[in-house]
Amino acid sequence: FAPLENLARAQFAVIIHRMQGEPEMKYTAKFPDVEDEIWYTDAILWAADKKIVNGYSDTGLFGPADNINREQMAVMMYRYAESMGYDVTEKADIGKFEDAASVNAFAEDAMKWAVANGIINGKYEGTKIDPQGNALRGECALIIQRFMEKYEK
């Protein structure tokens, strides 16, 4: 399981895709770095189709092997919840975290939602949210567990 290893963006897309029964996708060249018939292709194309993931705005690449950071994970979970029709209106004030200003604008609503719903908690005794920190595999497992306990009872 390697809980202290970083998680890649493709791996997180695969996790969410599996939560939906791994729907098959017809290949389209949505992202220049996502080729046909790779272990993550259907997951990324499905997540893009459901508007759960986007490519990087500056390159259009998805970055399947890039480490996913905590704010990217929050955004993907937030968009997944939206795609499932779950209530995502509850938001928390994240100003209590020392590094709240480090949350990028595209991830702000998602982080506020994730904190409000107990899906993501602060690190370092609750003092930082660590939005740019790489998400560890163990953190991912905990985030998925909290999400499922909240929404998929």
Q: State the amino acid at position 114 in one-letter form.
A: A
Give the DSSP letter of residue 72. H
Give alpha helix (H) positions in 32-104. Answer: 41-49, 70-83
pLDDT exceeds cutoff 70 at 131? yes
> Do the Cβ atoms of 106 and 75 come closer than 8 Å?
yes
pTM of the model: 0.93
Tokens 């904190």, located at residue: 115
pLDDT value, residue 6 = 95
pLDDT digits (tens, 9 = 90+) for 39-76: 999 999 999 999 999 999 899 999 999 999 999 999 99
Chain centroid to CA 113: 13
Q: How many CA atoms lie within 13 A of 62 on its CB side?
A: 27
pLDDT digits (tens, 9 = 90+) for 1-48: 788 999 999 999 999 999 999 999 999 999 999 999 999 999 999 999
pLDDT exceeds cutoff 70 at 153? no
Element (H, E) at 9: helix 9-19
Tell me if residue 132 falls in helix, strand or coil: coil
* Cα separation, 152 vs 2, whole angstroms: 26
pLDDT digits (tens, 9 = 90+) for 72-128: 999 999 999 999 999 999 999 999 999 999 999 999 999 999 999 999 998 988 899
Residue 96's nearest CA partner among 58, 65, 127 is: 127
